[in-house]
Amino acid sequence: LTFTKAVADSLAMASRSRSGGFRVSLGTIPNYAKEVEGVELDGVREGSLAEKSGLRAGDIIVQFGSRPIRNIYDYTEAIRETKPGDSVEIIVKRGSERLTIRVDFPSKVQ
């Protein structure tokens, strides 16, 4: 559980990359135990960009921009490659629906 929390925290927090630039923060809480095609969310952090954009617990992220998301590794890489100021369309499965959610990352990390 400590490893899971550490990974969730690393996805949720903005930090400096090795190149000195900033990484973006979405604020999702992935479910690491459930095996699905994509990444199922256990929740989103209150007040986060994920919450403001309309992502919610139970959503399964299957695409992040042009990148298909098959697992947590795809998802982590997609977030790592996203830069402040980028706009990304995220496709999620929500129940029997497929929804496209647009996320506009702020140009400055707050």
Domain boundaries in the chain?
Answer: 2-104
For residue 42, the 8-state DSSP code is E
Element (H, E) at 15: none
As its CATH architecture, domain 2-104 has Roll (2.30)
Closest CA to 62 of 48, 46, 47, 78: 78
How far is it, in rounded angstroms, from Cα 62 to Cα 93? 7
In tens digits, what is the pLDDT along the chain, a chain of 110 residues? Answer: 555 554 554 444 434 444 445 678 899 999 988 889 999 999 999 999 999 999 999 999 999 999 999 999 999 999 999 999 999 999 999 999 999 999 999 987 55
Q: What is the pTM of this model?
A: 0.79
pLDDT at position 22 is 60
Whole-number pLDDT of residue 19? 45
Q: DSSP H helical segments within 1-110, as ranges?
A: 2-12, 49-53, 72-81
